[in-house]
Amino acid sequence: MYTLIADSGSTKTDWVLLNGSVVVKHVKTIGFNPYFQSRDQINLELLSNLKPHIDDFIGRIDVLHYYGAGCSTLENCVLIEDCLSITLSIRKINVAHDLLAAARALCKKDWGIACILGTGSNSCLFNGKHILENIPSVGYLWGDYGSGAQIGKYFVQDYFEGNLPKDLSTAFENAGYDRETILNGVYKGTMPSRYLASINEFVSKHIDHAFMKTHVENCFDTFFKHQVSKYTDSKKHKVHTVGSIGYYYKELFAIVAKKHGYEIGNVIKSPIDGLIDYHSNN
């Protein structure tokens, strides 16, 4: 029995083909988010960069479990399911939000607060089977607290407003950033949140700078204030996180968590290994 699992964030998608519990293929494509991409864009990526890798197995895949960013409404789930059905010809397709993937990978069958900290951010209270509560994350314009997009956006704002220390501002410009480059990346690009999150490549290289540490900690502060603290009996549960931002800045995340009175649980870069284990045993 062949099973295809997909974990799709706004930046990248991990695809794993299983034969029972054995990994047969592991493919990476760009991320998908139906709020920002059209059917044609999604179909083109699937046809160009996924289908050629699994062509030999098309027709033998029994089920596809797809967990995706933006799959929080029926309309968006149907759009993704239609694209997958048309391009991959798989009979049974289950489309769910990437938050469920995070919860299953992080908490296993236990209670916990599962968090996504990548390009965007999200969180939920999970009881080992179901998501009980979810404080809505409303994207990089109004939310995505603690995410790569927020860290990038707030850093750019400090740059525009002249709030950066001189050495950081100079280094930022030497790295190829200036007003027009940033504005073009945000307002003329197809994925503004992805562009803003990409600024973390610069942020991470200078994370030992006192200003940068404080900057990232302040973003994590907003995440605990506007997301984590709002769950019922939140401090009774461990806080787990998945995604590149939570993973690479885990020391700073732990400092902020402790300041707010929370215990950190699992911290992983990607949920795909946890999902392989979950679907192999279920």
| Residue from 34, 271, 51, 215 nearest 279 by CA | 271
Please name the amino acid found at residue 277.
Answer: D
Centre a 10 Å sphere on the Cβ of residue 50 and count the other Cβ atoms it contains. 21
- pLDDT category at 164 given cuts 50, 70, 90 is very high
So what's the pLDDT on residue 274? 85
| Per-domain residue ranges of the chain | 2-98+272-280, 102-140+218-268
Question: Among 25-39, 184-198, 226-240, which range has the highest average pLDDT?
Answer: 226-240
So what's the pLDDT on residue 270? 86
* Per-residue pLDDT tens over the stretch 174-226: 999 999 999 999 998 878 888 999 999 999 999 999 999 999 999 999 999 99
CATH class of 2-98+272-280: alpha beta
- For the cut 90, the answer to whether the pLDDT of residue 250 exceeds it is yes
This prediction's pTM: 0.81
Task: Give mean pLDDT, residues 142-154.
Answer: 92
Q: How far apart are CA 206 and CA 138, in angstroms?
A: 29
Q: Residues 239, 228: contact at Cβ < 8 Å? A: yes
Q: How far apart are CA 185 and CA 251, in angstroms?
A: 30
- pLDDT category at 158 given cuts 50, 70, 90 is very high
Check: CATH 3.30.420.40 for 102-140+218-268?
A: yes
- For the cut 90, the answer to whether the pLDDT of residue 136 exceeds it is no
Q: Residues 24, 56: contact at Cβ < 8 Å? A: no
Task: Give mean pLDDT, residues 106-123.
Answer: 92
Pull the structure tokens for residue 152. Answer: 């990038």
